[in-house]
Amino acid sequence: MAYTLGEIAKFLGGQVNGDDSITISGLATLAQAGPGQLSFLANMAYKDQLQQTKASAVIVHPKQAADCVGPALVLDNPYLAYAKASQLFNTLPKASGDIHPSAVVSPSATVADGVSIAVNAVIEDHAVIGSGAVIGAGSVVGVNARVGKNTRLHHNVSVYHDVAIGDDCIIHSGAVIGSDGFGFANEKGQWVKICQIGGVTVGHGVEIGANTTIDRGAMSDTVIGDGVKLDNQIQIAHNVEIGAHSAMAAGCMIAGSTKIGSCCTLAGGVGVAGHLQLVDGTHVTAMTLVTKSITEPGSYSSGTAMSSTSEWRKSAARFRQLDDMAKRIKLIEKSLKE
C-alpha cells in the first residue's frame, strides 16, 4: 500500500504545499513518523513537533501550513482527513468470500453470494446473511437472526435469535447481542423470571466494540439507530433506544427503557438510570451518573474532581454536614427577617 502525496490529496480533496510526487506508505504520529510516512496535526498541544517530525508530509489546517518544514497536505479538518486517509492503509485482512468446511450452516438459513464464514462459525435455522457479510471464526448467528450486507462480525461474536443487524456494520469480538434483559418479579422472596420476548434492532453503519452487551427487549425491541458507535465493554439494557449517530466511550451502562436521542455523546464510564430520556445533542462527561431526564441539549457532568486523598476525606466529611448547614442557614435567614 503506497500512494503519492498527490494521490492522497485527490482522495481527501486537499491541497499539497510542496512536492506531491513523494511516496507515502503509512501513517504515524508526529513524534514517531519517519520517511515515507504521513502524519497530522489536530491538537495544538503538539504544534511544536511540526519542527522536529521526520514525516515525509503532514496533514495540517491552513493556519499551520507555514509552520511545516516539509510538504504539507492542507485541509480544514486535519483529524477528519487523517480518519479518511487511514482507510487507504487499513491492515485488516480481506475476507475470503468462502464458507470454511468446519462452519455449520443450517439448510434453512439464507446465505447470499459473496459471504465469508470462517472456522467453526454457526448459522442457525432461518437466519439470513446479506451479500458481502463476514462471519468471523467461532461466531454464532441465531435462529431467525439477520445480518445485513457488508456487515462484519469479528471472531466469537454472539448474535441471539430474532436479532436484526443492518448493512455496513462492524461487530467486534466478544460482543453479545440479544442476551436476556434483567427482568424478574418477586414472589414471596423468590425471583420469577420474565421471559424476554422482544429482540434487538441494529441500524445501518453501526459499530459495536469488543465485549459490549446489548440485551433484547422484554416485549418490544431494543433499538440501536443508524450510525451509532459503541466502544468496548458497554452494557445496553433491555428496551433502550439510542438515536442515530450517537456515540459512547468504554464502560458506559444504560439501564432499561431509557431513550437516548440522536447525535449524543457519552464519555467513558457514564451511567444512565432507567426509564429516562436524553434529548438530541446531549453530551455527558466521563464518570457522570445521570439520574433524571435531560430535556435541554448541552454538556452535563456529575461527581467531584480528583484531589489528594487527604483533601478528599475532608471534603467528604463536609458533604455529610451539608444538610445540617442548610437548615442552620435557613434559621439564620428567618431570624434576620424577623
What integer pLDDT is reported at residue 328 of this predicted model? 92
What integer pLDDT is reported at residue 306 of this predicted model? 84
Percent of the chain surpassing pLDDT 90: 89
Q: Of 71, 89, 107, which residue sits at a domain end?
A: 89
Task: Provide the domain count of the chain.
Answer: 3
Same domain, yes or no: 39 and 57: yes
- Which residue in 118, 132, 127, 183 sits closest to 159, CA to CA? 127
Q: How confident is the model at residue 247 (pLDDT cuts 50, 70, 90)?
A: very high
pLDDT reading at 336 higher than 80: yes
pLDDT reading at 337 higher than 90: no
pTM score over 0.75:
yes
Same domain, yes or no: 322 and 296: no
Q: Is the dihedral of CA 131, 134, 137, 141 positive or negative?
A: negative
> Average model confidence (pLDDT) for the chain?
95
Domain extent at residue 281: 160-300
Average confidence (pLDDT) over 31-51: 93
pLDDT reading at 338 higher than 80: no
Pairing mode, if any, of strands 15-17 and 128-129? Answer: unpaired
Q: Measured between alpha carbons, how far is 304 from 131 in angstroms, rounded to an integer?
A: 50
Pairing mode, if any, of strands 170-171 and 152-153? Answer: parallel
What integer pLDDT is reported at residue 304 of this predicted model? 78
Domain membership of residue 95 (yes or no) is no
| Contact call for residues 166 and 224 (beta carbons, < 8 A) | no
Provide the grid cell at 269: 464510564
Same domain, yes or no: 28 and 46: yes
Same domain, yes or no: 186 and 286: yes
Same domain, yes or no: 287 and 221: yes
* 283 is annotated as an active-site residue: no
Same domain, yes or no: 335 and 288: no
Pairing mode, if any, of strands 23-24 and 3-4? Answer: antiparallel
| Contact call for residues 172 and 208 (beta carbons, < 8 A) | yes
What integer pLDDT is reported at residue 303 of this predicted model? 79
Percent of the chain surpassing pLDDT 70: 100
The long-range contacts involving 259-266, CB below 8 angstroms and separated by at least 24 positions, are 262/225
Q: Which residues contact 52 (CB under 8 A, 6 or more apart)?
A: 30, 31
Same domain, yes or no: 281 and 165: yes
Give me the catalytic one of 154, 172, 204, 238: 238
